[in-house]
Chain A
Amino acid sequence: MNESIGMFAYNIPFASIFLMMISAIITPLLPDKNRIPEKLSCVMIGIVGVLSAYLLYALTAGGQSLSFNFMMGHFPAPWGNELRAGPLEAVLSLVFCAAMLLSLTGNLSSTAEDIAPKRRNIFCVLVNLLTASLLALTYTNDLFTAYVFIEINTIAACAIVAVKESPETVRAALRYLIMSLVGSGLVMIAICLLYDLTGHLLMQDMSRAIHGLVASKSYIMPLTVSLALITAGLAIKSALYPFASWLPDAHGSSTNASSAILSGLVLKGHIFTIIKIFHRVYGLDVIHLLRMDTVIFILGLVAMIMGSVHALRQTNVKRMIAWSSVAQVGYIFLGVGLNTTAGIAAACLHIIVHACVKPMLFTAAGGLSNAAGHKKGLHALMGTFYVNIWAGLGLIAGAFSMMGIPGFAGFASKLSLTLASFGHSTVVWALSALAASSVLNALYYVPAVIVVLTHNKDAQKNFTAHAPTMSYKVSMCIFLALNFYLGLFCMPLLRLITRGVSVL
C-alpha cells in the first residue's frame, strides 16, 4: 500500500504525532528567554501543517482517494497499535494545525499580557500536547489509544484555561475538569464493556465482532449501554447542549488564545472521535438499529436553539461567542444524527468551517476589548471598529459567517447541511431548526456588529491606543481569506470530504 503513495507520505501520520510530542517534551528544558518556546511551537505546528498538506496531496492526487494503515512498531494490527490515514484525516489535521497556528500567532500580544512569563513556557508545552493529542485522535485506529490521548487532551485543555491567573479561570477550570473527567469515566466504562463483548480494541475488528453479535441478536443490551455511555462521555467533552454548562465559563474567562484553541479545536477532536466510532466501530446500520442517530439528532436540534437562546442573554462578548459555540456544535451533531454519508460529510465540513471561524471571532473579540481598555462588556465595545479595524473586520466576517450570509464560510456548511437533510425523513425538523437557529444567530450577532460600528466620540478618547501588531494583522488576514475561500469555493472541499468519508 505504501508503494502507491511513497514512503515519505506513508510516515507522515506517525511523524506528525511524534514531532509535536517531542516538541512538547523538550520545551521545559529550553531557556524561557526571547520567547524561544513560542517560536519553537509555532515552527513545529507549521511543519506538521505542511506535512499534512503533502499527505493530503499524496492521498488524493489524480482523483483517487487512498487510505492506508500505519503499523506502529514491529507487530501488525490486532497485536500492536495502528494508525490509519485517509483524505478526511489529512484534511482535518491540516485544518487543526492551521487553526492552532493562527490562534497562537493572532493572540501573541494578549497571551503576553495575560500569562505570567514563568507560565508561558508551560503554556507552550500544553499547546504542543494538545496538538499532538488532536493529531493522534484524528489518526488512531485503536480505541484504547484514542482513550489515552483523550486523557492528555482533557488535562491539557483544563490547564490552558487555568494558565491565566484569576479566580474566574480557576473556578472555570475546576468545573471543566470535573465535567470532563465524568466524560472520561463514561468512555472508559464503555471501552471496557466493548472489549469484554468483542475481545478487540482495533476498530475494524471490533466492528466485525459487533456485526456478528447484532446478527445473532446476542448481548444487545450491553451493546446499547456501551454505545450510550461512549456517546454521552464524548458528548460531555464536546459540549453537546445539556452537557454544555461548563463551556461558557471555560471559554469565556480564559485568555484569548486558549478560548480560540478550546472552541475551535478541542471540541472538534472529540466530535471527530464520535464520528469515527460511529462509522468504524459500530457502523451506521447498527447506530440506526440502536436508535442512537435519533437521540443525537434531537440533542443537536435542541442545542442549535438553546445555545443561541443562551447567547442572546449574554452581555460579555466572549461569553456570547462561547454560547454560540454550543449552537454550532448542535449543527455538527445534527449532521451526524442524519446518519448518512452526506450528513456526516456536511458535519465534517462544519467542523472545518467552525474551526476556522470561531478562533477568528475570539481573536477579533480579544482585539476589540483590548482596544476598549480590557472591557469585555458588549456595550463597552462601541466604536472600537475604528480603533482596531482588523479586529472589527474579523468580528463582522465571523458574525456574517455564523449567520450564514452567502459568500461567508458558515453559508457553505449550512447549505450542505440543508442539502444533506433533504430525502431524510426528518427534513421538516432539520430545516425549521436551521431556519430558527439562523434567525437567533442574527439576533445576537447583528447587535454586536451594530455596536462595534457605531461612532462613539466620547468613549474613543478613553480608548488605549493599542495599534494591532503585525502578527495580529497577518493572522487576521489569513483568517479572513480562509473564511472567504470556504464560503466561495466550498464544493471541491465538500467533494473531497465525501470521498474521505467513503473510505473512513
Chain B
Amino acid sequence: MNEELRAIWQSFFNWVMGIGPRPENEVIPPEPPPDLPFTQRPNDKYTRFHEATLKERYTQWLEIHGLHLFSALYAGLSVLTCVVIVALLLATVAELPPFGHEGNPANNEVIRRYVERGGNETGAQNIVAGLILDYRAFDTFGESAVLFTAAVSVLMILGASRRGKTDDGESPHTESAGRNFLQRGPPAMSLHTFRRDDAILRGVATLSIPAILMMGCVVVINGHLSPGGGFSGGAILSTALILAANAYGFGRVHDFFSERTFIVSSSTALMIYAMSKGYSFFTGANHIHSIIPKGTIGDILSGGLILPLNICVGLIVAGTLYGFYALFSEGDI
C-alpha cells in the first residue's frame, strides 16, 4: 500500500516538475511500419500480432486506422448535423406566418408610421433611406463601423506583414523565428497576370470607368430620393476602381488611392458620420432644438442629414470593397 502511494506521489511529483511523458509527446504518431511483403517483414511487434497485449493491439490499430476512422466519422457527423438543422429550419419556416399576409405580426404600428409618416418626419422621399439613416441611424452607424473594423483588421493582417519586406526599420521583430512568417512563403502571387497590351480591356475600361463613376455618384447622391444610397452606390464606385486596377495595373490606382488615402478617407467619413449623428442623437434625446433643416421632400437638398451620411457611407463602402480586392489579390493597396 505504501509503495503504491509512493508511486502515485512520484508520478504526481514528476508531472509537477515537468518530468516524464507529456501530452504533446503522446499524440505525435510514430513512424508507420514499413510496407514490405509479408515474408520479408522483420520480426518485430507488428508481425507477432497475437502476442501483443490488448492495449498494444488497440494502440497499433489506432495508429493505422485512427485518422481514417476519425475523418469518416467527422464527415458522417457533419452531414448528419447539417441534415438535422436543415430539416428543423424547414419545419420552422413552414410554421411561420404566411409571406405577405395582411394580418402578419410584422404589419403593425411600427411599419405603419414608417410608411405613412416617414416622408414628413425625415424629409426623405426614399422611405428606406429615411428608415436606415434617420429612424434607426444608430444601427447603420454600427454597420459602417463593422466595415471599418473588417477593413482595418484585414489591412493589419495582410498589409502590414508583407509591407515589412521593403522596410528596413524593423527592430527585434524580424529576427526571432516564427515572426513575419508570411514572408517566408513564396512571393505574393497575383490572381491573374496583367497583359500590358490588352487593348480591348483598356479601351472598354477607358470608356466605361467615367460612366461607372457617374452612376455610383448618382446612386449615392440621390439616395434619399430614389432607390440606392451609400451602400449600393459605394459598391458601384468600388467596381470602377477594381476595373481600373485590372486594366491599368494596381500601380496606377495606387497613385491616387494608396493605403494612406484609404485610411484617411474611411476614418474621416466615419468621423463625420459619428459627429453629425452624435449631435442629432444628443439633441433628440434631450429635446433640444436641432439646427438641421429637413428641406422640401423631393429636392436634392432635403432629408436633413441623410445626404451627407449617404456620402460618408458610400466612401467607406467603396474604399473597403476595393481595399479587400487589392489586399486579397495583391497583398497591398
Contacts and interface: CB of A to CB of B under 8 A. Distances in A.
Instruction: Say whether A and B bind each other.
Output: yes
Interface of A: 2, 7, 10-11, 14, 18, 21-22, 24-26, 28-29, 70-75, 78-81, 113, 116-119, 122-123, 125-126, 129, 132, 136, 142, 144-145, 148-149, 151-152, 155-156, 158-159, 162-163, 165-167, 170, 189, 193, 195-200, 209, 219, 221-222, 225, 313-315, 377-380, 382, 447, 450-451
Interface string B131-147: 00011111101110110
B160 A116 contact: yes
B290 A197 contact: no
Contact of A125 (B16, B106, B152, B171): B152
Interface in B180-206: 180-182
Interface string B142-164: 11011011101101110011011
B247 to A, nearest CB: 30
Contacts of B17: 379, 382, 451
Interface stretch (B45-53, B92-100, B213-221): B92-100
A25 B277 CA distance: 14
A158 to B, nearest CB: 7
Given A21-B274, A149-B142, A28 B267 contact: yes
B143 A148 contact: yes
B23 interface: yes
A500 B135 CA distance: 29
Interface stretch (B61-69, B278-286, B323-331): B278-286
Contact of A81 (B92, B138, B286): B138
Given A196-B105, A199-B110, A315-B23, A11 B282 contact: yes
A373 B268 CA distance: 43
A166 B284 contact: no
B263 A28 contact: yes
B23 A129 contact: no
B285 A197 contact: no
B134 A315 contact: no
Contact of A119 (B12, B160, B290): B160
Among A72, A149, A152, A315, the most chain B Cβ lie within 10 Å of the Cβ of: A72
14 contacts: A7-B286, A18-B281, A22-B271, A73-B138, A80-B135, A80-B138, A81-B136, A122-B153, A126-B152, A189-B89, A200-B108, A225-B88, A378-B18, A380-B18
B168 interface: no
Nearest to B106: A199
B114 interface: yes
A80 B92 contact: no
Contact of A315 (B24, B96, B121, B170): B24
Contacts of B143: 148
A160 to B, nearest CB: 9
B254 interface: no
Contacts of B19: 379
Contacts of B104: 196, 199
A71 B137 CA distance: 12
Given A199-B105, A315-B24, A379-B19, 15 more contacts: A18-B281, A21-B145, A29-B263, A73-B135, A73-B280, A74-B280, A75-B121, A118-B164, A119-B156, A144-B136, A152-B145, A198-B105, A199-B104, A221-B92, A377-B18
B91 interface: yes
Contact of B153 (A75, A126, A142): A126
A73 B149 contact: no
B145 A81 contact: no
A91 B10 CA distance: 48
A185 to B, nearest CB: 11
Nearest to A177: B153
Interface centre among B113, B134, B149 (most CB of A within 10 A): B149
A73 B181 contact: no
Interface hub of B12, B138, B143 (most chain A Cβ within 10 A): B138
Contact of B16 (A71, A152, A222, A447): A447
Contact of A148 (B89, B96, B139, B274): B139
Nearest to A116: B173
A158 B270 CA distance: 22
A379 B95 contact: no
B178 interface: yes
Which of B92, B143, B172 is packed against the most chain A CB atoms within 10 Å?
A: B92
B158 to A, nearest CB: 10
B179 A166 contact: yes
A152 B92 contact: no
A73 B285 contact: yes
A113 B82 CA distance: 43
Q: Taking each of B12, B95, B264, which has the highest tally of chain A beta carbons within 10 Å of its own beta carbon?
A: B95
A116 B16 contact: no
B271 A222 contact: no
B264 A29 contact: yes
6 shortest A-B CB distances, which residue pairs? Answer: A379-B18, A148-B142, A159-B153, A74-B284, A199-B105, A81-B138
- Listed residue (B107, B110, B266, B280) with the most chain A CB atoms within 10 angstroms of its CB: B110
Given A117-B171, A313-B23, A219 B95 contact: yes
A22 B104 CA distance: 40
Contacts of B141: 21
A225 B267 contact: no
Nearest to B178: A166
Nearest to B113: A79
Most buried by A among B89, B163, B182, B278: B278
